[in-house]
Structure 1
Amino acid sequence: MRDRLSRALLVLFCAVSATHLVALAASIGWLDLVTKTLLMPSLAGWAATRRAPGLLVAGLLLSWLGDVALQFDGLFILGMGFFAAAHVCYVTLFVRRGAAAVMRGRWGFVAAYCVVWLGLVAVMWSGLGDLRVAVALYSLLLTATATLSVGLGPVVGLGGALFFVSDALLALRLADLPRPPGADLLVMITYLAAQWLIADGVTASRPALPPTADDDRVTTVDG
Structure 2
Amino acid sequence: MRESVRDAGLPSTFRSPWFVGFSAVAILHLILNAADAVPWDGITKVMLAPILAAWVVDQGGPRIVAAALIACAFGDLFLIWDSTFVIGMAAFAIGHVCFIRFFLSHGALREIRRRPWFLCAYAVAGIALVSYAWTGLEPALRIAVPVYAAILVGTASTALAYNTITGIGGALFLASDALILLGQANKWQPAAAGIWIMTLYILALLLLTVGILGRSSTANRLLTPTL
TM-score by length of 2: 0.87
- How many residues get paired? 208
Q: Which amino acid aligns with 1:77?
A: V
Partner in structure 2 of residue 137 of structure 1: 147
Cα distance change of structure 1 residues 222 and 69 upon mapping to structure 2, 3 Å threshold: farther
Q: Which amino acid aligns with 2:189?
A: R
Which residue among 20, 23, 31 is the counterpart of 1:14? 23
Partner in structure 2 of residue 46 of structure 1: 55
Cα distance change of structure 1 residues 221 and 68 upon mapping to structure 2, 3 Å threshold: farther
Q: Which amino acid aligns with 2:181?
A: A
Partner in structure 2 of residue 165 of structure 1: 175
Q: Helix, strand or coil for the counterpart of 1:29?
A: coil
Distance across 2 between alignment mates of 1:7 and 1:178: 39
Distance across 1 between alignment mates of 2:123 and 2:39: 39
Which residue among 87, 93, 106 is the counterpart of 1:84? 93
Cα distance change of structure 1 residues 42 and 52 upon mapping to structure 2, 3 Å threshold: same
Distance across 2 between alignment mates of 1:38 and 1:117: 29
CA RMSD across the alignment:
1.9
Q: Which amino acid aligns with 2:58?
A: T
TM-score by length of 1: 0.88
The percent identity for this pair of structures is 35
How far the C-alpha of 1:206 sits from its partner, in A, is: 4.5
How far the C-alpha of 1:8 sits from its partner, in A, is: 2.2
Which residue among 5, 26, 29 is the counterpart of 2:38? 29
Q: State the 4+ residue runs in structure 1 displaced beyond 6 angstroms.
A: none
Matches within 5 A, 1:34-183: 34-130=43-139, 131-183=141-193
The CA deviation string for residues 152-179 of structure 1, in whole angstroms up to 9 with x for no partner, is 1110100000000000000001111011
Distance across 1 between alignment mates of 2:87 and 2:221: 35
Distance across 1 between alignment mates of 2:110 and 2:215: 16
Which residue among 199, 202, 206 is the counterpart of 1:192? 202
Does the CA-based 8 Å contact 1:40-1:64 persist in structure 2? yes
Partner in structure 2 of residue 217 of structure 1: none
